[in-house]
């Protein structure tokens, strides 16, 4: 396993709406995350500050505040929210993320291979809740140090999305048993339509789904 492959993020950092540091396992500084507008809304840009004090990246919401652009050095990625608290992805890394920071652990599953014949899936990033420096922290662990920076930025983006309970873009869902009357149809239409879909709509859809299956 690579050395310095673990980073720690305060679990309550986004909830406090304050700038915060992240650390290596030895306690040294990794990145600092700052919001010039004071973390006042999900639409605020977040600046990533490197160990030497200069800006090295940013987290910026798209025009509809559904996903986030992650700028890391000269590279840019796109953090996607398919269904908040359930399913995310990172374009530019081919990462699929199923789960939520409210119920850890979770993994970023990467798709690798040059063709469909040799495609393989690996758990590139593991996120867990641990105690670090006498406080609850998200531990972000990677196998390849080259993805460490975008992995940490992605976890912070997920934390921002879940703190503000923002929009989801929706995704396709298969139902082998068919729709369960009108309520089941409403659920499917909510989950599969193109967003933005509000958190409140998803909650109502899940209530309808539960009633339809009773």
**Per-domain residue ranges of the chain:** 6-164, 181-213
Top-confidence residue, 70 or 213: 70
Answer yes or no: is pLDDT of 202 > 90: no
pLDDT, tens only, 100-114: 999 999 999 999 887
Confidence at residue 197, expressed as pLDDT on a 0 to 100 scale:
80
Q: How many residues are given for the chain?
A: 214
* 94 close to 111: Cβ distance less than 8 angstroms: yes
Give 195's pLDDT tier (boundaries 50, 70, 90).
low
Question: 175: pLDDT confidence band, cut at 50, 70 and 90?
Answer: very low
- Is it true that domain 6-164 has CATH number 2.60.120? no
**CA distances for 5 relative to 2, 8, 36, 122, 187, angstroms:** 6, 10, 29, 16, 41
Quick one: which of 82, 72, 67 has its CA closest to 31?
A: 72
The residue whose two tokens read 């304050």 is: 18
pTM: predicted TM-score of the whole model, two decimal places: 0.83
Express as a percent the part of the chain with pLDDT over 90: 73
Q: Is the peptide bond before 184 cis (omega within 30 degrees of 0)?
A: no
């Amino acid at each position: 396993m690579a050395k310095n492959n673990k980073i720690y993020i305060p679990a309550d950092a986004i909830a406090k709406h304050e700038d915060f540091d992240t650390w290596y396992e030895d306690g040294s500084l990794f990145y600092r995350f700052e919001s010039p507008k004071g973390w006042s809304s999900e639409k605020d840009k977040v600046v990533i500050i490197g160990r030497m004090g200069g800006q090295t990246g940013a987290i910026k919401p798209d025009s509809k505040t559904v996903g986030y652009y992650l700028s890391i050095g000269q590279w840019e990625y796109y953090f996607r929210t398919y269904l908040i608290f359930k399913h995310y992805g990172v374009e530019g890394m081919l990462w699929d993320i199923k789960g939520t920071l409210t119920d850890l652990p979770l993994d970023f599953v990467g798709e690798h291979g040059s063709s469909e014949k040799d495609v393989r899936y690996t758990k590139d990033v593991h996120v867990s809740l641990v105690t670090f420096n006498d406080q609850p922290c998200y531990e972000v662990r990677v196998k390849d140090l080259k993805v460490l920076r975008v992995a940490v930025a992605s976890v912070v983006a997920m934390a921002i999305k879940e703190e503000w309970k923002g929009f989801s873009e929706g995704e396709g869902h298969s139902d082998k048993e068919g729709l369960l009357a009108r309520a089941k149809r409403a659920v499917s239409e909510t989950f599969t339509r193109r967003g933005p879909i509000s958190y409140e709509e998803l909650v109502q859809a899940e209530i309808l789904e539960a009633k339809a299956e009773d």
